[in-house]
Amino acid sequence: MVKMPTMRSIVILISGRGSNMEAIVRAAQTENWPVSIAAVISNRSDSPGLDFARQQGIATAVVANRDYSSREQFDEALRTSIDGFSPDLVVLAGFLRILTTPFVDHYAGRLLNIHPSLLPSFPGMATHRQALAAGVKLHGATVHFVTPDLDHGPIVAQAAVPVLDTDSEDTLAARVLEQEHRIFPRAVRWFIEGKLSLNAGRVRIDASAEQV
């Protein structure tokens, strides 16, 4: 008898158009992942990505940070919303909020983020502007486990693109985004299939995992 893979569930957090969320959803559909995308949650009611999720039949929710007087209150409400869907993994796909330590600790080892730079270089915002100002020859994207230290969690996967003399922030961002859409779904799939884990701060990827 063939052993069926264990079905897992994920919740995806977004703040805007949700292109990385869309890449994950489409990869899960076309590659037939053993996963249920339980919900897409945004901190903005006008996030375009919510419309895509609804069109795919995915549950959506809004936890608006403007409705809370502190980061702690917002994170508590967000955690309550997420936990209502009982996910195995929480995915930050362009979720533009700095999360508190208790929130991050609650999801330790099951909270993944995509960042548009080759970490540890250029954490925070405006990464493409930072890269151009620094004159680096390579830029890119990083998938990492989230820790309380902003944009410094254990690295799961990276992809690099050349920085051209003719690049603007927009052209560089577009090439990096293509790589984000390639490596983020793959990293999420590794976790879903039990091929990715975090042990004592070190990332472990099974040798059988399809590489990015």
Spot the catalytic one: 115, 128, 144, 181. Answer: 115
Cα dist. 63→19, 56, 60, 74 in Å?
20, 20, 10, 8
Q: Which two tokens stand for residue 151?
A: 């944009």
How far apart are the C-alpha atoms of 95 and 104, rounded to whole Å?
Answer: 14
Residue in the block written with tokens 């403007």: 66
Q: Are strands 60-62 and 8-14 parallel, antiparallel or unpaired?
A: unpaired
> Is residue 115 flagged as an active site residue?
yes
Among all chains, which residue has been given the structure tokens 């975090």?
Answer: 198
Distance CA 60, CA 50 (A): 7
SS3 of 203, please? Answer: strand
Q: How would DSSP label each residue in 170-187?
A: HHHHHHHHHHHHHHHHHH
Q: How far is CA 140 from CA 116, 160, 172, 174, in A?
A: 6, 4, 9, 11
By annotation, the residues acting in catalysis are 115
